[in-house]
Chains A and B, each alone.
Chain A
Amino acid sequence: MATSQANVFTVVSKFYDEYVTTTPQRLKIIDAYLAYIMLTGIFQFGYCLLVGTFPFNSFLSGFISCVASFVLAVCLRVQVNPQNRKDFLHISPERAFADFVFAHIILHLVVMNFIG
C-alpha cells in the first residue's frame, strides 16, 4: 500500500518537475489558458446543476463554447509543441495560430446565433 502510494507520489512529483523544467514558455502560457477555460466550464456546469437547464440552448451554447475553446487550445498546443514536429511538417506555429483564430471565428459566430 505504502509503496504504491509512494510510487504515485513520486511519479506525480517527477512529472511536475519535468514539466516545469522542460516545457517551453509558449506551451506554459497555453496551459495556463487551458486551466482558466476549464475553471469557467466547471463554473457553468455547476450553475446549471444549481439553477436548472431552462433555456437549454443557452446553457448548451455556453458550455459547448467552453469545451470547444478548451479543445481548440489543446489542438493548438499539440501543433505548436516542438516534440510533435514530425507529425506536422507543413504547419508552422504561425499557421497553427491562424487556423486557431479561424476556428474561433466560426465558433463564436455559431455561439452567438445559438445563445438565443
Chain B
Amino acid sequence: MAGESNIRTALSNPAGWQSLLSFSILALAYLAAFSSRLFAVIRFESIIHEFDPWFNYRSTHHLVNYGFYNFLNWFDERAWYPLGRIVGGTVYPGLMVTAGTIHWLLNSLHITVHIRDVCVFLAPTFSGLTSIATYLLTKELWSQGAGLLAACFIAIVPGYISRSVAGSYDNEGIAIFALLFTYFLWVKSVKTGSIFWAGCTALAYFYMVSAWGGYVYIINLIPLHVFVLLLMGRFSYRIFVAYCAFFILGLLLSMQIPFVGFQPIRTSEHMASAGVFALLIAYGFLKYLHTHLSSLTKSEMRSLFFFAVAASAAAVLMAVVYLTYAGYVAPWSGRFYSLYDTGYAKIHIPIIASVSEHQPTTWVSFFFDLHVLVCTFPAGVWFCIKKINDERVFIVLYAISASYFAGVMVRLMLTLTPVVCILSAIAFSNVLERYLVDDTPKVHHIEDESEDDEEGDKRNKSKDLYDKVTKTAGKVRKIRHEPSGEPESLGGNVKTIVVMAVMMILMMFAVHCTWVTSNAYSSPSVVLASYNHDGSRNILDDFREAYYWLRQNTDDHSRVMSWWDYGYQIAGMANRTTLVDNNTWNNSHIALVGKAMSSNETRAYEIMKALDVDYVLVIFGGVIGYSGDDINKFLWMVRIAEGEHPKEIREGDYFTPQGEFRVDKAGSKTLLNCLMYKLCYYRFGEMQLDFRTPPGFDRTRNVEIGNKDISFQHLEEAYTTEHWLVRIYKVKKQDNRVRLDHTVRKTDIKPKTKFTSRKSGKRKRGFIKNKMLIKKGKRPSSKNKKPSRKTSSKK
C-alpha cells in the first residue's frame, strides 16, 4: 500500500516529468541535427567535400601520423612551390586537435575508426552539441520552454547546415558550438558575478580562438556589451568582476595559439577590449571612492564623478589613437576593414573580393536560409527590449551587429543564424505561453508547452527522415486541452485557431529546412550528379578521375600549376606539389600564375620554366555545361594579374570593342590566343556534341568558339577526363635547337639564264649535243662548225 502511494507520488512529481521531457527533447534535437546532415553520405559516400576541408583533412592526417609537436612545427614544402608554407603558424589548430583527440580516444578504447570517418562525421556531432549550447543560452536569457524551441530550431535551420554537413570538415563546424558555449558562459558570469564562471568563459574563449578567426567577433561584442551597460547606467560590481577576470585570463590564453601570437596587444581589432578594460577599472575605482567620500555633498560628488569618468574615457581613447598613429598598434586588417568599407576590397585586394562567399547577401538568401524565423526574429528583439535586463542587452546587441554583418557578406549569415533562432524561439515561446494556457498554475503550463514541443519535434524528426508532407489535424487535436473554465478575455476558439496556425507554420518550417538541406546544401562538390528524364542518376566523377591519374602516373616530385581554387584538392587527393592554393596568403605568387594563364604561350612558357612547372591543370565545363569552370573565372585571373603587373596585362584587352566578354569569333584577339583559352579549347573544335549544333559549340557559354585551330609549341596534352571536365597538360622541356624564325633573304641578283630542266616525263633516249654525223665515203658536212671531241664511231 505504502509502496503504491510512493510510486504514485513519484509518477506525479512534476519536476521529474519536466526534466525527463527536457532531456528527451534535447536528445531528439541532437538526433535530428545529426541525421539531417547525412544526406550527402547516404547519396554518395563518406568523403570530404569542397576545397578547404581537404587541407584540414591533410593536416589532421599529418597530426595523427606524426604526433602533436610535429604538427605544430610542420613546414609544408609541397604547397606554394618555391616558398613553402609554415603550417603550424598559419592555421587554427582547434579543428585538427579536436578530431585527433577523438580519434585517439576511440582507438585507445579499441574502436578502430579511420581518421577520415572521424573528420567526416565531426561536424554533425558538434551541431548536436550546438543545439544543447543554444538551449542553455536561451534558458539563461528567457525560460526553459524558449530554450527547447531554440534547440530544435538550430538543429535543422539551413543557415547553419550549409557549413556543417557531414563531410564539410571546416572550422565553422566547431566554431559555432564554441561561440554559443562562450556566450552562454558569459551570460552566466554576468548573472552571477562569480570568478569561476568568468574563468570558464575564458577557457571556452580559448577554445574558440583555437578554432576560428571569427573569435574577433567575441572579443569585440563582449566589450561592447559592457560599454553599453555602462552607458545605460547599469554598472554593478558583478559586471566588473565578470569582465575583468574574463578579459585578463582570455588575453593570456588567446596568445597561446601560434597563429594569433602577439596580435591581441598589437592590432586594432583587439584594442576595444583593452580600452573597455581600462575604462571599467577606472569606473570601478571611482565608484569605490564615491562610496567612501560620502561626507561631501551629493551633487558636487556626482558632477565630479561624471567628469572623472568622462576624462578617463577620453584618456583611454587618446592613448589608443596615439598608439595606432605611432605604429605600435597595427590598423584594421583588410579582411575586417572590408566589412566596414565594402568597396575597399574590390579596388585594393581583388582576391578577397573574388571569393564567392564574400559577396553581399541577397534578400533571397535570408529567406532561403532562415524561412519564417527571419520574420519572427524582430518580434523576439522587441520582447527582449520590453523586458530588459543585463543579459538581454547582450542578445539585442548581438542581434543588431549580426544583422549588419550578415547583410555585408554571405558567409556571415552563419553568425546571424544562432541569434535568429534564439530570438524567434523567444517570440514563439511568448505566443504559445499566451495562447496555450493563461491562468492555470505555472507547473501545468510548462508541462503542456514542453509536451507540445516534444510532439512537434517528434513530427519534425519523422519529417526529416521520411521527407513527406502530412496533414496535421489529427495530431493537433490530441494535445489541445480544454480551457480551465475560468472566464478569459480570449475565447477558447480564438486560442485554438492561433495555436493551430503556429503549429502549421512550424511544420512548414521543418519541411522547408529538410528540402533545402536535401537539395541545396548536400552536394559534395567533388562529385557532380545530374538526373535524367526518368529520374535515374548520372554521376560525373571527373575530378577524382583526374586527381587519381595524377597520383598514379606522374613523378612524386612533379609540380602542378592550376588556379588557386583547386590547390587543396590536388594536394589532398593527388598528393602532388602545387604552386598556389586556397590559403591565398601570397598575392604576388597568385598574380604570377594569373599572368601565366592570361598571356600567350611563349610568355607563359617563360613563367612556367621559372617556376619549374611540370603539369598544368584546367577545368573546362563546355562539354557538360558546368558553369564553375576556369573560363568563367578567367576575368578574376586577369584582374589579379593586372593588380601586380599593370603594364603587361590589361583587363580591357580581353573584351570586345563593345565591352563584352565573348569566346566566339567576335572575341578579342588577346583572349583567343591566351594560354587559358588554348588549354581549355584544344581539339574542342573537332568535337560535335549533337547534330543540331556545329562542332566546337561551348555548352556553358552557348556559343561556337572562335579559335578552333589550336596548336602548342611547349605543351602537350597529358590527360582529359571522360566528360572533358579536367584537362591536364604536360610542360615539355625546351627544344635542343631553337628554330630560327627569319624570312628568306631577298636579293636583286638576277641569274644569267633561266634554267629550264630537261627532265621530262617521257622516256627519251639520251643524245649527245653537236654530234658529228659521219657517213662513210663522204666528207664531213660543213654544218658542223665545232669539232666535237668524241667522234662517232658507227662501225
Contacts and interface: CB of A to CB of B under 8 A. Distances in A.
A60 B265 contact: yes
A107 interface: yes
Interface string A60-77: 110011011001101110
B289 A78 contact: no
Interface stretch (B197-205, B473-481, B635-643, B659-667): B197-205
Interface in A12-56: 14-15, 18-19, 56
Nearest to B289: A15
Contacts of B248: 64, 67-68, 71-72
Given A14-B295, A56-B262, A103-B199, A88 B256 contact: no
Contacts of B284: 74, 78
B581 to A, nearest CB: 30
Given A60-B255, A88-B237, A75 B244 contact: yes
A113 B256 contact: yes
Interface centre among B252, B253, B284, B289 (most CB of A within 10 A): B252
B123 interface: no
B194 interface: yes
Contact of B195 (A61, A76, A90, A113): A76
B293 A15 contact: yes
A110 B199 CA distance: 12
Interface in B736-769: none
B291 interface: yes
B193 interface: yes
B238 A99 contact: no
Interface centre among B195, B253, B262 (most CB of A within 10 A): B195
A28 B292 CA distance: 15
Given A96-B195, A110-B253, A72 B262 contact: no
Contact of B192 (A15, A78, A90, A113): A90
A107 B244 CA distance: 13
A88 B239 CA distance: 11
B574 interface: no
A90 B188 CA distance: 13
A78 B244 CA distance: 12
Contacts of B21: none
Contacts of A103: 195-196, 198-199, 245, 249
Contacts of B296: 11
A58 B261 CA distance: 13
Contact of A64 (B195, B241, B244, B252): B252
B251 interface: yes
Nearest to B248: A68
Interface string B180-194: 000000000000111
A99 B195 contact: yes
Given A11-B293, A60-B262, A71 B195 contact: no
Contact of B249 (A56, A60, A91, A107): A107
A14 B293 CA distance: 8
Given A84-B237, A87-B238, A107 B252 contact: yes
Interface in B235-270: 236-238, 240-241, 244-245, 248-249, 251-253, 255-256, 262, 265
Given A11-B293, A90-B192, A106 B203 contact: yes
Contacts of A75: 195, 240-241, 244-245
A102 B202 CA distance: 12
Contacts, number: 98
Nearest to A64: B252
Nearest to A110: B252
Contacts of B193: 79, 87-88, 91
Interface centre among B249, B293, B295 (most CB of A within 10 A): B249
A55 B26 CA distance: 49
A91 B197 CA distance: 12
A19 B292 CA distance: 8
In the complex, which range does the number of interface residues on chain B fall in? 20 to 34
A74 B199 contact: no
A72 B241 CA distance: 8
B181 to A, nearest CB: 17
Contacts of A102: 195-196, 199
Given A15-B293, A60-B255, A74-B244, A106 B249 contact: yes
A72 B245 contact: yes
B241 A83 contact: no
Nearest to A98: B196
A9 interface: no
Contacts of A19: 292
Given A64-B252, A114-B252, A99 B295 contact: no
Contacts of A71: 244-245, 248, 281
Interface in A79-116: 79, 83-84, 87-88, 90-91, 95-96, 98-100, 102-103, 106-107, 110-111, 113-114
Contacts of A61: 252
A75 to B, nearest CB: 4
Interface string B221-242: 0000000000000001110110
Contacts of A106: 199, 202-203, 249, 253
A72 B247 CA distance: 11
Interface in B380-434: none
Contacts of B241: 75, 78-79
Given A99-B195, A99-B196, A114-B256, A64 B291 contact: no
A45 B357 CA distance: 45
Nearest to A19: B292
A79 B199 CA distance: 15
Contacts of B291: 83
A106 B252 CA distance: 10
B391 to A, nearest CB: 15
A104 to B, nearest CB: 9
A87 B194 CA distance: 11
Contact of A114 (B237, B249, B255): B255
Contacts of B236: 87
A42 to B, nearest CB: 16
Given A71-B244, A90-B192, A64 B295 contact: no
A99 B249 contact: no
Contacts of B244: 71, 74-75
A88 B248 CA distance: 21
B256 to A, nearest CB: 6
A91 B196 CA distance: 11
Contacts of A11: 293, 296
A111 B202 CA distance: 14
Interface centre among B203, B248, B289 (most CB of A within 10 A): B248
A78 B238 CA distance: 9
A99 B202 CA distance: 13
A75 B241 CA distance: 5
Contacts of B192: 90-91
Nearest to B198: A103
Interface string B197-224: 0110011000000000000000000000
Interface string B536-569: 0000000000000000000000000000000000
B249 A68 contact: yes
B195 A78 contact: no
Interface of A: 11, 14-15, 18-19, 56-57, 60-61, 64-65, 67-68, 71-72, 74-76, 78-79, 83-84, 87-88, 90-91, 95-96, 98-100, 102-103, 106-107, 110-111, 113-114
23 contacts: A11-B293, A15-B292, A18-B292, A18-B293, A19-B292, A60-B265, A65-B252, A68-B248, A68-B252, A74-B244, A75-B195, A75-B245, A83-B291, A87-B237, A90-B194, A91-B194, A96-B194, A96-B195, A99-B195, A99-B199, A103-B196, A103-B199, A110-B249
Interface of B: 192-196, 198-199, 202-203, 236-238, 240-241, 244-245, 248-249, 251-253, 255-256, 262, 265, 281, 284, 289, 291-293, 295-296
Closest 4 CB pairs of A and B: A99-B195, A99-B196, A75-B241, A68-B248
Given A61-B252, A65-B252, A103-B199, 5 more contacts: A11-B293, A72-B245, A79-B193, A95-B194, A99-B196
